[in-house]
Amino acid sequence: MRILIADDSSMMREMIKRVVKLTEIPVDEILEAGNGAEALAILESTDVQLLLTDINMPVMSGAELLRTLAASDRWRGLTRVIISTDGSAARREEAAGLDVRCYLEKPFRPEVLRDVFQDVAGSNRT
Amino acid sequence: MTGGARPAAGGRPMIQVVGIGELVVSNAGDGLIAAHAIGSCIAVCVFDPVAAVAGMLHFLLPDSAVNPARARQQPGVFADTGIPLLFQTAYEHGLSKRRAIVKLVGGAEMAETISATFTTGRRNALAARNLLWRNGVFVAAEDVGGERARSLQLSIRDGRLRVYSGEACKEL
Amino acid sequence: MSSRTLPGLIGPETGAAVFGALRTVAERSFFAAAERCDEAAFDALAATVPAWLVSSVRFEEGESAGSMSCSLPDALAERLFHAFTGRDPSEAPPAWADVHDLVGEFANMVCGAWLSGSAGGRTFTLGQPGVVRARAAAAGGGLRLRVVIDDAPIAIALEMDAGRRAAKSGA
């Protein structure tokens, strides 16, 4: 499984990577992007199974990234998870229409992210 | 370091009681590890289901920097010295970090200690989680906070943890 | 349930709401205890701080816009860094670029947590946090919160843009 983490904070990306590695679920590669445009460029050139994305990012937001992905069949098999400080009802409603599997609101305890990852990674493997 | 043990009587399992600042680790099969009247303290419980190793630390305060001398004498009093010692002792009994199931109990804000600026129970719970995260260990379950003391019993054989508070009992 | 707009919430309850967001962020992601602090006690702690890191993040929600800043001492920033990343403090000191990134993310999370709870369910946008070093904590023209996190001072300043709906003085 190849994972892409999109967040403009490098330390948040590091924290997420640490949780993923601690679960010991087999992962082939963990890719990183600092904004939605970087993430899209990676997705266009690399076969990724799981996207963990923030919403508020420069250049291209996570919402715009997800809208772009949802508009094409090309990424039908890509599991999408939002990890964001924006926990508003309106954003969650928008996410529901964009093929988002799970919405994780910051701040979160490591165990919560662990549970989300185990759930989505487990589904990915079956 | 080791708590007091009550010998088995009438077929009941042996109970090793962990007092404040103490820790107990066992792979002896039958028996329970227990702590009583946990208020703002935290009981850190570990269990390896394959090696059948169980352990419990009963710490009082989060940071040994407030009293390094006491930490040297009784490391179990503090989270930052007691938790590493709990794990080290558990490793020596055969516990594997990868398989370890860790649970936290306690951290209540007891009425006689509540003040605007001093919240020991909350700080103890945060310190425990911080230490565990730093050491790459997830918390499997917890029963922390509130305003009531708790007592608990951890089964050495199967890791079942029963938490008692007032009239209530639950398995964590 | 009433639908409240953001400007309507810049009032006496705002201080409590912002503090609630800060406490949640501090506990869940940084394993740190946050408590409110009176001015005299805060000033006494602040007097011992040689340099502050000030992280500011802009936000927009409908017609409202403003900025939130979090000012904290270097030493607290470094402690929060180790708590968040899980790195051992006995390892080599972190690069200051990484600490700045983490302080920016801290402000991002506090602001986001506050807006998620206060903006009546509406979406909002957050700008990229900026982090600077300063001799004093940011003062701010609107709401100012004095807090201690693990006994170290941290100041939160909240300011609404002039020309938008004005902020009332907060707690």
Q: For tokens 């009981």, what's the residue? A: B43
Q: How many domains does chain A have?
A: 1
Residue A107 contacts C where some CB pair is shorter than 8 Å: yes
Q: What is the pLDDT of residues A15-68, one digit of tens each?
A: 999 999 999 899 999 999 999 999 999 999 999 999 999 999 999 999 999 999
Is-contact C156 C70, C-beta < 8 A? yes
Question: Is residue C78 predicted with pLDDT exceeding 90?
Answer: yes
Ramachandran sector of residue B66 (left: φ over 0; alpha: ψ -120 to 50; beta: rest): alpha
Provide the domain limits for residue B148.
Answer: 4-171
- Closest-CA residue to B21 (of B45, B46, B3): B3
Average per-residue pLDDT in chain C?
Answer: 86
Cβ pair A110:B138 closer than 8 A: yes
Of the pLDDT bands very low, low, confident and very high (cuts 50, 70, 90), residue B9 is low
Distance CA C104, CA C155 (A): 14
From the options 1.25.10.10, 3.40.50.1100, 3.40.1550.10, 3.40.640.10, give the CATH code of C7-160.
Answer: 3.40.1550.10
Q: A11 to chain B, minimum CA–CA distance in Å? A: 15
Q: Does a structural domain hold residue A46?
A: yes
Q: Is the alpha carbon torsion for C101, C106, C111, C112 positive or negative? A: positive
Nearest CA in chain B to C89: B134
Distance CA A50, CA A44 (A): 14
Phi then psi dihedrals of residue A37, to 5 deg = -65, -45
Assess whether B41 carries a catalytic annotation: yes
**pLDDT at position B117:** 42
Q: How many domains does chain B have?
A: 1
User: What CATH number corresponds to the domain at position A68?
Assistant: 3.40.50.2300
**pLDDT at position B80:** 96
Question: Is residue A121 predicted with pLDDT exceeding 80?
Answer: yes
Q: Where are the domains of chain C?
A: 7-160
User: What CATH number corresponds to the domain at position B115?
Assistant: 3.30.1330.200
Q: Does a structural domain hold residue A86?
A: yes
Distance CA C129, CA C57 (A): 5
Contacts of C32 in chain B (CB under 8 A): 126
Q: Hey, is B120 helix, strand or coil?
A: helix
CA B169 to chain centre: 17
**pLDDT at position C5:** 46
Cβ pair B134:C33 closer than 8 A: no
**pLDDT at position C119:** 67
Q: Does a structural domain hold residue A27?
A: yes
Long-range contacts of residues C7-12, Cβ cutoff 8 Å, at least 24 apart: C7/C63, C7/C64, C7/C160, C7/C164, C7/C165, C7/C166, C7/C167, C9/C118, C9/C119, C10/C142, C10/C143, C10/C158, C10/C160, C10/C167, C10/C168, C10/C170, C11/C168, C11/C170, C12/C168, C12/C170, C12/C171
Distance CA A78, CA A47 (A): 9
Residue B138 contacts A where some CB pair is shorter than 8 Å: yes
Given the residues B24, B32, B35, B41, the one annotated as active site: B41
Question: Is residue B113 predicted with pLDDT exceeding 90?
Answer: no
Q: Which chains touch C (3 or more CB pairs under 8 A)?
A: A, B
Provide the domain limits for residue A63.
Answer: 2-118
The reply to whether ipTM tops 0.90 is yes
Q: For tokens 């662990």, what's the residue? A: A114
Contacts of A110 in chain B (CB under 8 A): 133, 138
Q: Which chains touch A (3 or more CB pairs under 8 A)?
A: B, C
Cβ pair C86:B134 closer than 8 A: yes
